[in-house]
Structure 1
Amino acid sequence: MMFRLTEQPSVGRVLMRTLIALAYLIIFAPVVMIVVTSFFAQELISFPPPALSLAWYANAWAKPEFLRGLLTSFQVALLAAAIGVPIGTAAALAIVRGEFPGRQALSSFLLAPLAVPGVVAGSGLYMLYVLAEDFFDRDIKATTEGLVAAHTLLAIPWTVRLVVASLQGLDRRAEEAAANLGANPFTVFRRITLPMMRPGVVAAAMFSFIQSFENLDLSMLLVGPGRITLPVAMLNYLEFRIDPTLAAVATVQITLVGLLMVVTDRFVKLSRVV
Protein backbone atom coordinates (compact mmCIF):
# COMPACT_ATOMS: atom_id res chain seq x y z
CA MET A 1 0.00 0.00 0.00
CA MET A 2 1.46 3.32 -1.09
CA PHE A 3 0.92 6.63 0.63
CA ARG A 4 1.33 9.99 -1.08
CA LEU A 5 3.24 12.45 1.01
CA THR A 6 2.03 16.00 0.53
CA GLU A 7 4.09 18.97 1.48
CA GLN A 8 2.49 20.87 4.33
CA PRO A 9 2.51 24.66 3.94
CA SER A 10 4.92 26.28 6.29
CA VAL A 11 3.90 28.88 8.84
CA GLY A 12 5.82 31.55 6.97
CA ARG A 13 4.05 30.78 3.69
CA VAL A 14 0.63 30.86 5.35
CA LEU A 15 1.47 34.14 7.04
CA MET A 16 2.67 35.63 3.76
CA ARG A 17 -0.52 34.59 1.95
CA THR A 18 -2.61 36.02 4.77
CA LEU A 19 -0.78 39.33 4.60
CA ILE A 20 -1.21 39.46 0.81
CA ALA A 21 -4.93 38.74 1.13
CA LEU A 22 -5.22 41.43 3.80
CA ALA A 23 -3.41 43.93 1.57
CA TYR A 24 -5.79 43.20 -1.33
CA LEU A 25 -8.75 43.56 1.04
CA ILE A 26 -7.54 46.97 2.21
CA ILE A 27 -6.97 48.11 -1.38
CA PHE A 28 -10.26 46.93 -2.87
CA ALA A 29 -12.61 47.42 0.08
CA PRO A 30 -13.18 51.17 -0.60
CA VAL A 31 -13.81 50.48 -4.29
CA VAL A 32 -16.31 47.73 -3.47
CA MET A 33 -18.08 50.00 -0.97
CA ILE A 34 -18.42 52.76 -3.56
CA VAL A 35 -19.89 50.38 -6.13
CA VAL A 36 -22.30 48.83 -3.61
CA THR A 37 -23.38 52.23 -2.25
CA SER A 38 -24.30 53.44 -5.74
CA PHE A 39 -27.18 50.94 -5.78
CA PHE A 40 -28.69 51.97 -2.43
CA ALA A 41 -32.25 53.25 -2.76
CA GLN A 42 -32.15 55.65 0.19
CA GLU A 43 -30.37 59.00 0.21
CA LEU A 44 -28.88 58.56 3.68
CA ILE A 45 -26.55 55.58 3.65
CA SER A 46 -27.35 52.88 6.19
CA PHE A 47 -26.65 49.17 6.47
CA PRO A 48 -28.32 46.99 5.50
CA PRO A 49 -30.05 48.97 2.73
CA PRO A 50 -33.85 48.66 2.68
CA ALA A 51 -33.89 48.37 -1.13
CA LEU A 52 -31.70 48.60 -4.23
CA SER A 53 -32.21 51.01 -7.09
CA LEU A 54 -30.66 52.53 -10.21
CA ALA A 55 -32.17 55.93 -9.47
CA TRP A 56 -28.83 57.51 -8.63
CA TYR A 57 -27.42 56.59 -12.04
CA ALA A 58 -30.44 58.26 -13.64
CA ASN A 59 -29.91 61.28 -11.39
CA ALA A 60 -26.26 61.51 -12.43
CA TRP A 61 -27.24 61.27 -16.11
CA ALA A 62 -29.73 64.10 -15.62
CA LYS A 63 -26.99 66.43 -14.30
CA PRO A 64 -25.44 68.21 -17.31
CA GLU A 65 -22.33 69.17 -15.35
CA PHE A 66 -21.30 65.52 -15.04
CA LEU A 67 -21.62 64.91 -18.79
CA ARG A 68 -19.72 68.10 -19.61
CA GLY A 69 -17.06 67.17 -17.07
CA LEU A 70 -16.75 63.67 -18.54
CA LEU A 71 -16.32 65.02 -22.07
CA THR A 72 -13.80 67.62 -20.90
CA SER A 73 -11.84 65.00 -18.97
CA PHE A 74 -11.71 62.75 -22.05
CA GLN A 75 -10.61 65.62 -24.26
CA VAL A 76 -7.91 66.86 -21.91
CA ALA A 77 -6.63 63.35 -21.12
CA LEU A 78 -6.41 62.36 -24.80
CA LEU A 79 -4.61 65.57 -25.77
CA ALA A 80 -2.24 65.40 -22.80
CA ALA A 81 -1.35 61.78 -23.60
CA ALA A 82 -0.98 62.54 -27.32
CA ILE A 83 1.45 65.38 -26.57
CA GLY A 84 3.26 64.04 -23.52
CA VAL A 85 3.92 60.46 -24.65
CA PRO A 86 5.98 61.35 -27.78
CA ILE A 87 7.97 63.93 -25.80
CA GLY A 88 8.58 61.51 -22.94
CA THR A 89 9.49 58.70 -25.34
CA ALA A 90 12.06 60.86 -27.10
CA ALA A 91 13.51 61.91 -23.75
CA ALA A 92 13.67 58.29 -22.59
CA LEU A 93 15.54 57.31 -25.76
CA ALA A 94 18.02 60.12 -25.18
CA ILE A 95 18.54 59.07 -21.56
CA VAL A 96 19.05 55.36 -22.28
CA ARG A 97 20.76 55.42 -25.68
CA GLY A 98 22.40 58.83 -25.68
CA GLU A 99 25.98 59.46 -24.68
CA PHE A 100 26.22 62.97 -23.33
CA PRO A 101 27.04 64.50 -19.96
CA GLY A 102 24.14 65.25 -17.67
CA ARG A 103 21.95 62.27 -18.56
CA GLN A 104 21.25 61.46 -14.91
CA ALA A 105 20.48 65.09 -14.18
CA LEU A 106 18.05 65.15 -17.13
CA SER A 107 16.38 61.97 -15.89
CA SER A 108 15.99 63.39 -12.39
CA PHE A 109 14.61 66.65 -13.79
CA LEU A 110 11.99 64.89 -15.92
CA LEU A 111 10.91 62.60 -13.07
CA ALA A 112 10.76 65.42 -10.52
CA PRO A 113 7.05 66.24 -11.10
CA LEU A 114 6.16 62.81 -9.68
CA ALA A 115 7.53 63.92 -6.31
CA VAL A 116 5.74 67.29 -6.24
CA PRO A 117 2.29 67.35 -4.58
CA GLY A 118 -0.47 68.19 -7.02
CA VAL A 119 -1.71 71.17 -5.03
CA VAL A 120 1.78 72.67 -4.98
CA ALA A 121 2.22 72.08 -8.71
CA GLY A 122 -1.21 73.55 -9.44
CA SER A 123 -0.50 76.66 -7.36
CA GLY A 124 2.84 77.15 -9.10
CA LEU A 125 1.30 76.74 -12.54
CA TYR A 126 -1.51 79.12 -11.67
CA MET A 127 0.97 81.84 -10.69
CA LEU A 128 3.01 81.11 -13.81
CA TYR A 129 -0.09 81.46 -15.98
CA VAL A 130 -0.93 84.79 -14.34
CA LEU A 131 2.55 86.12 -15.14
CA ALA A 132 2.39 84.70 -18.68
CA GLU A 133 -0.98 86.39 -19.26
CA ASP A 134 0.48 89.75 -18.31
CA PHE A 135 3.46 89.15 -20.61
CA PHE A 136 1.64 87.78 -23.68
CA ASP A 137 -1.61 89.72 -23.12
CA ARG A 138 -3.85 86.69 -23.68
CA ASP A 139 -5.87 84.31 -21.53
CA ILE A 140 -4.06 81.16 -20.42
CA LYS A 141 -5.53 80.15 -17.08
CA ALA A 142 -9.09 78.78 -17.05
CA THR A 143 -8.68 77.66 -20.68
CA THR A 144 -8.59 74.21 -22.22
CA GLU A 145 -5.15 74.88 -23.65
CA GLY A 146 -3.74 75.81 -20.26
CA LEU A 147 -5.31 72.73 -18.68
CA VAL A 148 -3.88 70.46 -21.40
CA ALA A 149 -0.44 71.98 -20.92
CA ALA A 150 -0.63 71.31 -17.19
CA HIS A 151 -1.77 67.72 -17.68
CA THR A 152 1.01 67.16 -20.20
CA LEU A 153 3.39 67.68 -17.29
CA LEU A 154 1.74 64.65 -15.72
CA ALA A 155 2.16 62.54 -18.85
CA ILE A 156 5.84 63.21 -19.49
CA PRO A 157 7.26 61.82 -16.19
CA TRP A 158 5.14 58.65 -16.42
CA THR A 159 6.24 58.14 -20.01
CA VAL A 160 9.91 58.62 -19.16
CA ARG A 161 9.68 56.23 -16.24
CA LEU A 162 7.94 53.42 -18.14
CA VAL A 163 9.76 53.76 -21.46
CA VAL A 164 13.16 53.88 -19.74
CA ALA A 165 12.27 50.66 -17.91
CA SER A 166 11.20 49.12 -21.22
CA LEU A 167 14.36 50.19 -23.07
CA GLN A 168 16.70 48.96 -20.37
CA GLY A 169 15.35 45.43 -20.78
CA LEU A 170 15.74 45.26 -24.58
CA ASP A 171 18.30 43.11 -26.33
CA ARG A 172 20.21 45.33 -28.75
CA ARG A 173 21.59 42.49 -30.88
CA ALA A 174 18.67 42.72 -33.33
CA GLU A 175 19.32 46.43 -33.82
CA GLU A 176 23.04 45.82 -34.32
CA ALA A 177 22.32 43.06 -36.83
CA ALA A 178 20.00 45.32 -38.83
CA ALA A 179 22.60 48.10 -38.83
CA ASN A 180 25.31 45.67 -39.98
CA LEU A 181 23.07 44.61 -42.88
CA GLY A 182 22.89 48.19 -44.13
CA ALA A 183 19.77 49.61 -42.53
CA ASN A 184 19.97 53.32 -41.76
CA PRO A 185 19.29 54.54 -38.19
CA PHE A 186 15.73 55.63 -38.97
CA THR A 187 14.88 52.24 -40.48
CA VAL A 188 16.39 50.46 -37.48
CA PHE A 189 14.30 52.57 -35.14
CA ARG A 190 11.09 52.15 -37.15
CA ARG A 191 11.40 48.43 -37.89
CA ILE A 192 13.26 47.12 -34.83
CA THR A 193 13.42 49.51 -31.87
CA LEU A 194 9.90 50.91 -31.93
CA PRO A 195 8.12 47.51 -32.10
CA MET A 196 10.31 46.21 -29.27
CA MET A 197 9.54 49.18 -27.03
CA ARG A 198 5.83 49.18 -27.87
CA PRO A 199 4.75 47.70 -24.49
CA GLY A 200 6.40 50.56 -22.64
CA VAL A 201 4.92 53.21 -24.93
CA VAL A 202 1.40 51.75 -24.74
CA ALA A 203 1.61 51.41 -20.96
CA ALA A 204 2.85 55.01 -20.75
CA ALA A 205 -0.07 56.21 -22.87
CA MET A 206 -2.55 54.35 -20.67
CA PHE A 207 -1.11 55.60 -17.38
CA SER A 208 -0.83 59.14 -18.74
CA PHE A 209 -4.48 59.06 -19.77
CA ILE A 210 -5.60 57.69 -16.40
CA GLN A 211 -3.51 60.19 -14.42
CA SER A 212 -5.03 63.07 -16.39
CA PHE A 213 -8.57 61.67 -16.41
CA GLU A 214 -8.68 61.23 -12.62
CA ASN A 215 -6.66 64.28 -11.61
CA LEU A 216 -8.32 66.65 -9.15
CA ASP A 217 -5.73 68.59 -7.15
CA LEU A 218 -4.02 70.03 -10.23
CA SER A 219 -7.20 70.61 -12.23
CA MET A 220 -9.26 72.39 -9.59
CA LEU A 221 -6.85 75.33 -9.61
CA LEU A 222 -6.77 75.70 -13.39
CA VAL A 223 -10.31 75.05 -14.66
CA GLY A 224 -12.68 77.79 -15.70
CA PRO A 225 -16.45 78.25 -16.12
CA GLY A 226 -17.84 75.66 -18.51
CA ARG A 227 -14.52 73.82 -18.70
CA ILE A 228 -14.54 71.78 -15.50
CA THR A 229 -13.35 68.18 -15.51
CA LEU A 230 -15.30 65.27 -14.06
CA PRO A 231 -13.43 65.15 -10.69
CA VAL A 232 -13.98 68.90 -10.25
CA ALA A 233 -17.68 68.49 -11.11
CA MET A 234 -17.93 65.78 -8.47
CA LEU A 235 -16.26 68.04 -5.90
CA ASN A 236 -18.63 70.90 -6.74
CA TYR A 237 -21.64 68.61 -6.34
CA LEU A 238 -20.36 67.48 -2.95
CA GLU A 239 -20.50 71.07 -1.69
CA PHE A 240 -24.31 71.12 -1.91
CA ARG A 241 -25.51 67.50 -1.76
CA ILE A 242 -24.36 64.27 -0.12
CA ASP A 243 -26.08 61.28 -1.69
CA PRO A 244 -25.15 58.14 -3.66
CA THR A 245 -25.12 60.10 -6.92
CA LEU A 246 -21.39 60.62 -6.50
CA ALA A 247 -20.98 56.89 -5.88
CA ALA A 248 -22.78 56.23 -9.18
CA VAL A 249 -20.51 58.66 -11.05
CA ALA A 250 -17.44 57.18 -9.38
CA THR A 251 -18.58 53.67 -10.35
CA VAL A 252 -18.83 54.71 -13.98
CA GLN A 253 -15.39 56.29 -13.75
CA ILE A 254 -13.90 53.14 -12.16
CA THR A 255 -15.54 50.98 -14.84
CA LEU A 256 -14.12 53.08 -17.68
CA VAL A 257 -10.61 53.00 -16.23
CA GLY A 258 -10.88 49.25 -15.54
CA LEU A 259 -12.00 48.54 -19.11
CA LEU A 260 -9.11 50.63 -20.43
CA MET A 261 -6.63 48.61 -18.38
CA VAL A 262 -8.17 45.28 -19.44
CA VAL A 263 -8.13 46.19 -23.13
CA THR A 264 -4.57 47.49 -22.88
CA ASP A 265 -3.40 44.36 -21.08
CA ARG A 266 -5.10 42.28 -23.78
CA PHE A 267 -2.74 43.65 -26.42
CA VAL A 268 0.27 44.56 -24.28
CA LYS A 269 1.08 42.61 -21.13
CA LEU A 270 1.42 45.33 -18.51
CA SER A 271 3.18 42.96 -16.12
CA ARG A 272 6.22 43.04 -18.42
CA VAL A 273 6.59 46.80 -18.00
CA VAL A 274 4.95 47.87 -14.75
Structure 2
Amino acid sequence: MSRAGIRRTYGAISGAVLAFIVLPLVVIVWVSFFANRILAFPASGYTLDWYTRALETDAFRDGFVTSVQTALFATAASLALGVPASLGLVRGRFPGRDAVQALLLAPMVVPGIVGGAALFIAFIEVEALLDIQVAGTLGGLLVAHTLIALPWTIRLVSASLASADRAIEEAAASLGADPLTVLRRVTLPAIRPAIVAAALFSFVISFIDLEKSIFLVGPGRTTLQIALVNYLEWNLDGTVAAVAAVQILIVGTALLVSDRYARLAQAF
Protein backbone atom coordinates (compact mmCIF):
# COMPACT_ATOMS: atom_id res chain seq x y z
CA MET A 1 0.00 0.00 0.00
CA SER A 2 1.29 3.46 -0.88
CA ARG A 3 2.02 6.10 1.73
CA ALA A 4 -1.05 8.09 0.63
CA GLY A 5 -3.20 4.98 0.98
CA ILE A 6 -1.85 4.36 4.46
CA ARG A 7 -2.70 7.94 5.43
CA ARG A 8 -6.24 7.59 4.07
CA THR A 9 -6.74 4.30 5.87
CA TYR A 10 -5.41 5.76 9.10
CA GLY A 11 -7.68 8.80 8.71
CA ALA A 12 -10.71 6.61 8.05
CA ILE A 13 -10.01 4.46 11.12
CA SER A 14 -9.45 7.55 13.27
CA GLY A 15 -12.69 9.08 12.00
CA ALA A 16 -14.61 5.88 12.74
CA VAL A 17 -13.24 5.72 16.29
CA LEU A 18 -14.05 9.39 16.87
CA ALA A 19 -17.59 8.90 15.56
CA PHE A 20 -18.03 5.87 17.82
CA ILE A 21 -17.10 8.02 20.82
CA VAL A 22 -18.96 11.21 19.92
CA LEU A 23 -22.11 9.85 18.25
CA PRO A 24 -23.77 8.55 21.47
CA LEU A 25 -23.29 11.98 23.08
CA VAL A 26 -24.85 13.69 20.06
CA VAL A 27 -27.80 11.29 20.14
CA ILE A 28 -28.39 11.95 23.87
CA VAL A 29 -28.46 15.70 23.31
CA TRP A 30 -30.75 15.25 20.30
CA VAL A 31 -33.17 12.99 22.18
CA SER A 32 -33.38 15.49 25.05
CA PHE A 33 -35.38 17.78 22.74
CA PHE A 34 -37.89 15.11 21.60
CA ALA A 35 -41.51 15.88 22.41
CA ASN A 36 -42.38 12.15 22.69
CA ARG A 37 -43.87 11.15 26.04
CA ILE A 38 -41.90 7.89 25.78
CA LEU A 39 -38.48 7.81 24.16
CA ALA A 40 -38.87 6.58 20.60
CA PHE A 41 -37.73 7.32 17.06
CA PRO A 42 -38.64 9.31 15.08
CA ALA A 43 -39.44 12.43 17.08
CA SER A 44 -43.04 13.60 17.03
CA GLY A 45 -41.78 17.15 17.61
CA TYR A 46 -39.28 19.12 19.62
CA THR A 47 -39.57 20.87 22.98
CA LEU A 48 -37.64 22.25 25.94
CA ASP A 49 -40.17 20.91 28.45
CA TRP A 50 -37.90 18.08 29.61
CA TYR A 51 -35.27 20.57 30.78
CA THR A 52 -37.97 22.46 32.69
CA ARG A 53 -39.20 19.23 34.24
CA ALA A 54 -35.68 18.22 35.26
CA LEU A 55 -35.18 21.61 36.90
CA GLU A 56 -38.47 21.32 38.76
CA THR A 57 -37.76 17.79 40.06
CA ASP A 58 -36.52 18.01 43.65
CA ALA A 59 -34.52 14.76 43.44
CA PHE A 60 -32.52 16.05 40.47
CA ARG A 61 -31.89 19.47 42.04
CA ASP A 62 -30.86 18.06 45.40
CA GLY A 63 -28.80 15.31 43.77
CA PHE A 64 -27.01 17.81 41.56
CA VAL A 65 -26.10 20.00 44.54
CA THR A 66 -24.85 17.00 46.53
CA SER A 67 -22.85 15.66 43.59
CA VAL A 68 -21.19 19.03 42.93
CA GLN A 69 -20.35 19.58 46.60
CA THR A 70 -18.97 16.07 46.96
CA ALA A 71 -16.96 16.31 43.75
CA LEU A 72 -15.46 19.67 44.74
CA PHE A 73 -14.43 18.32 48.13
CA ALA A 74 -13.00 15.15 46.59
CA THR A 75 -11.05 17.21 44.06
CA ALA A 76 -9.56 19.51 46.69
CA ALA A 77 -8.74 16.60 49.03
CA SER A 78 -7.19 14.51 46.27
CA LEU A 79 -4.94 17.40 45.23
CA ALA A 80 -3.94 18.14 48.83
CA LEU A 81 -3.00 14.50 49.37
CA GLY A 82 -2.01 13.43 45.89
CA VAL A 83 0.50 16.12 44.92
CA PRO A 84 2.73 15.62 48.03
CA ALA A 85 2.34 11.85 47.67
CA SER A 86 3.45 12.04 44.03
CA LEU A 87 6.48 14.13 44.98
CA GLY A 88 7.44 11.54 47.58
CA LEU A 89 6.93 8.60 45.23
CA VAL A 90 8.82 10.10 42.28
CA ARG A 91 11.60 12.00 44.04
CA GLY A 92 11.87 9.94 47.20
CA ARG A 93 13.86 6.77 47.73
CA PHE A 94 12.56 4.53 50.51
CA PRO A 95 11.88 0.83 51.06
CA GLY A 96 8.52 -0.36 49.81
CA ARG A 97 7.99 2.58 47.46
CA ASP A 98 6.61 0.39 44.66
CA ALA A 99 4.20 -1.31 47.07
CA VAL A 100 2.94 2.06 48.35
CA GLN A 101 2.43 3.29 44.80
CA ALA A 102 0.52 0.14 43.85
CA LEU A 103 -1.67 0.51 46.94
CA LEU A 104 -2.48 4.15 46.18
CA LEU A 105 -3.36 3.33 42.56
CA ALA A 106 -5.41 0.22 43.44
CA PRO A 107 -8.82 1.99 43.44
CA MET A 108 -8.37 2.59 39.69
CA VAL A 109 -8.42 -1.14 38.91
CA VAL A 110 -10.90 -2.38 41.51
CA PRO A 111 -14.46 -2.63 40.08
CA GLY A 112 -16.66 0.13 41.43
CA ILE A 113 -19.29 -2.18 42.88
CA VAL A 114 -16.58 -4.17 44.70
CA GLY A 115 -14.99 -1.00 46.04
CA GLY A 116 -18.35 0.32 47.24
CA ALA A 117 -19.19 -2.90 49.06
CA ALA A 118 -15.71 -3.08 50.58
CA LEU A 119 -15.92 0.50 51.86
CA PHE A 120 -19.37 -0.11 53.31
CA ILE A 121 -18.12 -3.19 55.19
CA ALA A 122 -15.04 -1.29 56.37
CA PHE A 123 -17.19 1.57 57.66
CA ILE A 124 -19.41 -0.90 59.52
CA GLU A 125 -16.31 -2.40 61.16
CA VAL A 126 -15.14 1.07 62.19
CA GLU A 127 -18.56 1.80 63.67
CA ALA A 128 -18.46 -1.43 65.67
CA LEU A 129 -14.96 -0.67 66.91
CA LEU A 130 -15.27 3.03 67.74
CA ASP A 131 -19.03 3.37 68.22
CA ILE A 132 -19.07 6.23 65.68
CA GLN A 133 -21.46 6.23 62.74
CA VAL A 134 -19.62 6.44 59.43
CA ALA A 135 -21.73 4.61 56.84
CA GLY A 136 -24.66 6.67 55.66
CA THR A 137 -23.08 9.97 56.73
CA LEU A 138 -21.85 12.86 54.63
CA GLY A 139 -18.34 12.36 56.03
CA GLY A 140 -18.26 8.75 54.91
CA LEU A 141 -19.43 9.74 51.43
CA LEU A 142 -16.71 12.42 51.18
CA VAL A 143 -14.02 9.95 52.26
CA ALA A 144 -15.20 7.44 49.65
CA HIS A 145 -15.16 10.02 46.85
CA THR A 146 -11.71 11.20 47.88
CA LEU A 147 -10.51 7.61 47.49
CA ILE A 148 -12.08 7.57 44.02
CA ALA A 149 -10.26 10.74 42.94
CA LEU A 150 -6.88 10.23 44.63
CA PRO A 151 -5.45 7.62 42.21
CA TRP A 152 -6.09 9.89 39.22
CA THR A 153 -4.19 12.73 40.86
CA ILE A 154 -1.26 10.51 41.80
CA ARG A 155 -1.12 8.90 38.36
CA LEU A 156 -1.17 12.15 36.37
CA VAL A 157 1.10 14.17 38.65
CA SER A 158 3.60 11.32 39.02
CA ALA A 159 3.83 10.91 35.25
CA SER A 160 4.43 14.64 34.83
CA LEU A 161 7.08 14.70 37.56
CA ALA A 162 8.86 11.71 36.07
CA SER A 163 9.19 13.47 32.71
CA ALA A 164 10.12 16.89 34.15
CA ASP A 165 13.66 18.17 33.65
CA ARG A 166 15.45 17.97 37.00
CA ALA A 167 18.24 20.19 35.68
CA ILE A 168 16.01 23.26 36.00
CA GLU A 169 15.34 22.54 39.66
CA GLU A 170 19.03 21.87 40.27
CA ALA A 171 19.94 25.16 38.56
CA ALA A 172 17.50 27.05 40.81
CA ALA A 173 18.95 25.36 43.90
CA SER A 174 22.52 26.15 42.80
CA LEU A 175 21.56 29.82 42.54
CA GLY A 176 20.54 29.88 46.18
CA ALA A 177 16.86 28.96 46.16
CA ASP A 178 15.76 26.92 49.16
CA PRO A 179 13.76 23.67 48.60
CA LEU A 180 10.42 25.35 49.30
CA THR A 181 11.14 28.12 46.79
CA VAL A 182 12.21 25.56 44.19
CA LEU A 183 8.97 23.68 44.75
CA ARG A 184 6.82 26.81 44.58
CA ARG A 185 8.58 28.67 41.77
CA VAL A 186 9.90 25.83 39.57
CA THR A 187 8.41 22.40 40.21
CA LEU A 188 4.73 23.25 40.63
CA PRO A 189 4.57 25.62 37.62
CA ALA A 190 6.26 22.93 35.50
CA ILE A 191 3.61 20.35 36.37
CA ARG A 192 0.65 22.76 36.35
CA PRO A 193 -1.01 21.09 33.31
CA ALA A 194 -0.92 17.76 35.15
CA ILE A 195 -2.39 19.31 38.29
CA VAL A 196 -5.22 20.92 36.30
CA ALA A 197 -5.84 17.64 34.46
CA ALA A 198 -5.86 15.77 37.79
CA ALA A 199 -8.39 18.23 39.21
CA LEU A 200 -10.60 17.85 36.14
CA PHE A 201 -10.46 14.05 36.13
CA SER A 202 -11.02 13.90 39.89
CA PHE A 203 -14.10 16.10 39.66
CA VAL A 204 -15.59 14.13 36.77
CA ILE A 205 -14.89 10.71 38.31
CA SER A 206 -16.47 11.78 41.60
CA PHE A 207 -19.40 13.56 39.93
CA ILE A 208 -20.44 10.57 37.81
CA ASP A 209 -19.86 7.89 40.47
CA LEU A 210 -22.79 5.60 41.17
CA GLU A 211 -21.42 2.35 42.59
CA LYS A 212 -19.79 3.67 45.75
CA SER A 213 -22.42 6.35 46.35
CA ILE A 214 -25.29 3.88 46.25
CA PHE A 215 -23.69 1.97 49.13
CA LEU A 216 -22.72 4.96 51.24
CA VAL A 217 -25.27 7.74 50.72
CA GLY A 218 -27.40 8.31 53.81
CA PRO A 219 -31.16 8.59 54.22
CA GLY A 220 -32.61 11.88 53.04
CA ARG A 221 -29.61 12.49 50.77
CA THR A 222 -29.04 11.52 47.15
CA THR A 223 -26.58 12.15 44.34
CA LEU A 224 -27.53 12.99 40.78
CA GLN A 225 -26.60 9.54 39.47
CA ILE A 226 -28.73 7.79 42.10
CA ALA A 227 -31.61 10.14 41.33
CA LEU A 228 -31.32 9.21 37.65
CA VAL A 229 -31.39 5.48 38.40
CA ASN A 230 -34.41 5.89 40.68
CA TYR A 231 -36.21 7.94 38.05
CA LEU A 232 -35.52 5.39 35.31
CA GLU A 233 -37.14 2.68 37.43
CA TRP A 234 -40.59 4.15 36.75
CA ASN A 235 -40.11 6.57 33.83
CA LEU A 236 -38.64 6.51 30.34
CA ASP A 237 -38.97 10.00 28.92
CA GLY A 238 -36.76 12.86 27.80
CA THR A 239 -36.08 14.11 31.34
CA VAL A 240 -33.20 11.67 31.76
CA ALA A 241 -31.74 12.72 28.41
CA ALA A 242 -32.04 16.38 29.44
CA VAL A 243 -30.14 15.74 32.68
CA ALA A 244 -27.49 13.79 30.77
CA ALA A 245 -27.17 16.61 28.23
CA VAL A 246 -26.58 19.11 31.04
CA GLN A 247 -23.86 16.87 32.45
CA ILE A 248 -22.22 16.66 29.02
CA LEU A 249 -22.32 20.47 28.79
CA ILE A 250 -20.76 20.90 32.25
CA VAL A 251 -17.95 18.41 31.63
CA GLY A 252 -17.29 19.71 28.13
CA THR A 253 -17.14 23.32 29.32
CA ALA A 254 -14.78 22.39 32.16
CA LEU A 255 -12.53 20.56 29.71
CA LEU A 256 -12.41 23.47 27.26
CA VAL A 257 -11.77 26.08 29.95
CA SER A 258 -9.08 23.95 31.59
CA ASP A 259 -7.35 23.34 28.26
CA ARG A 260 -7.49 27.06 27.47
CA TYR A 261 -5.57 28.04 30.60
CA ALA A 262 -3.41 24.97 31.26
CA ARG A 263 -2.81 23.21 27.90
CA LEU A 264 -3.94 19.80 29.11
CA ALA A 265 -2.17 18.00 26.25
CA GLN A 266 1.12 18.70 28.04
CA ALA A 267 -0.04 16.62 31.01
CA PHE A 268 -0.04 13.33 29.07
TM-score, normalised to structure 1's length? 0.94
- Note the residue ranges of structure 1 that are not aligned, 5 or more in a row: 1-7
**Alignment correspondent of 1:128:** 122
SS in 2 for 1:242: coil
Q: CA RMSD in A?
A: 1.3
* 1:154 Cα deviation from its structure 2 partner: 1.2
The number of residue pairs the alignment matches comes to 267
* 1:262 Cα deviation from its structure 2 partner: 0.7
**Alignment correspondent of 1:3:** none
> Contact 1:142–1:227 at 8 Å: present in 2 too?
no
Equivalent of residue 83 in structure 1, options 77, 96, 106:
77
* 1:10 Cα deviation from its structure 2 partner: 2.4
* 1:175 Cα deviation from its structure 2 partner: 1.2
**Alignment correspondent of 1:94:** 88
**For 2:67 and 2:226, how far apart are their aligned partners in 1?**
10
Superposed CA deviations along residues 194-248 of structure 1, whole A, max 9, x for unmatched, are 1111111111111101100011111111112222110011011111111110000
**For 2:153 and 2:62, how far apart are their aligned partners in 1?**
28
Residue 227 of structure 1 pairs with residue 221 of structure 2: yes
**For 1:47 and 1:234, how far apart are their aligned partners in 2?**
22
**For 2:3 and 2:57, how far apart are their aligned partners in 1?**
54
**For 2:103 and 2:131, how far apart are their aligned partners in 1?**
30
* 1:82 Cα deviation from its structure 2 partner: 0.8
- Provide runs of 4+ in structure 1 moved above 6 Å: none
Superposed CA deviations along residues 125-146 of structure 1, whole A, max 9, x for unmatched, are 0111111112222221111110
Superposed CA deviations along residues 8-59 of structure 1, whole A, max 9, x for unmatched, are 8622221111111111111112111111100000112232212100011111
- Give the partner amino acid of 1:232: I
After TM superposition, the structure 1 = structure 2 runs for residues 18-167 of structure 1, keeping only pairs within 5 Å, are 18-167=12-161
Query: What percent identity do the matched residue pairs reach?
Result: 46
SS in 2 for 1:255: helix
> Contact 1:39–1:52 at 8 Å: present in 2 too?
yes
**For 1:58 and 1:9, how far apart are their aligned partners in 2?**
53
Superposed CA deviations along residues 238-270 of structure 1, whole A, max 9, x for unmatched, are 111111100000100110111111111011111
Equivalent of residue 249 in structure 1, options 232, 243, 246:
243
**For 2:194 and 2:39, how far apart are their aligned partners in 1?**
42
- Give the partner amino acid of 1:71: V
TM-score, normalised to structure 2's length? 0.96
**For 2:96 and 2:132, how far apart are their aligned partners in 1?**
36
> Contact 2:86–2:154 at 8 Å: present in 1 too?
yes
SS in 1 for 2:211: coil
Which is higher, the Rg of structure 1 or of structure 2?
A: 1
SS in 2 for 1:218: helix
Instruction: Name whichever structure is richer in helix by fraction.
Output: 2
* 1:182 Cα deviation from its structure 2 partner: 1.8
- Note the residue ranges of structure 2 that are not aligned, 5 or more in a row: none
> Contact 2:31–2:241 at 8 Å: present in 1 too?
yes
Residue 206 of structure 1 pairs with residue 200 of structure 2: yes
**For 1:39 and 1:199, how far apart are their aligned partners in 2?**
36
> Contact 2:191–2:267 at 8 Å: present in 1 too?
no
> Contact 1:143–1:227 at 8 Å: present in 2 too?
no
**Alignment correspondent of 1:5:** none
* 1:74 Cα deviation from its structure 2 partner: 0.7
Superposed CA deviations along residues 58-78 of structure 1, whole A, max 9, x for unmatched, are 111110110100000011001
